[in-house]
Amino acid sequence: MIFLKLLFFGAAFFFGFRIVKPWLSKHISIHISNGDKEEIEDVMVKDPCCETYFPKRDGVYAHISGQDFYFCSKECRDKYLEKLK
């Protein structure tokens, strides 16, 4: 019977944790996402077409075959897409 009691408390702890965890991560993620946003705006990325560095926030975003790319201009994005064909 001691085993069953332990199992019960184990399950109660497990499910209790599962309820608390999303609540915690929800509150923690607010701080993390704010930090990430600032980081993304400040970071310099390389244009894969003309190999120029520019701030990510000024870039032209493209999602190509499961990867994220940032280009300095729409012209570069179109050129890069043409190259891939």
Q: Which stretch binds Zn ion (CB under 5 A): 1-9, 14-22, 45-53, 58-66?
A: 45-53
In the complex with Zn ion, the residue whose CB is nearer, 33 or 67, is: 67
Task: State the Cα–Cα distance between residues 65 and 63, nearest whole angstrom.
Answer: 7
Structural tokens at position 64: 């190509």
| Least distance (Å) between residue 46 CB and Zn ion | 9
The nearest distance, CB 67 to Zn ion, in angstroms, is: 17
Binder among 45, 59, 70, 72 for Zn ion (CB under 5 A): 72
Cα–Cα distance between 6 and 47 in angstroms, integer? 58
* Backbone CA torsion sign across 16, 21, 27, 28: positive
Q: Angle CA(71)–CA(76)–CA(77) in degrees, nearest 5?
A: 65
60 binds Zn ion (CB under 5 A): no
List of residues contacting Zn ion (CB under 5 A): 47, 49-50, 72, 76
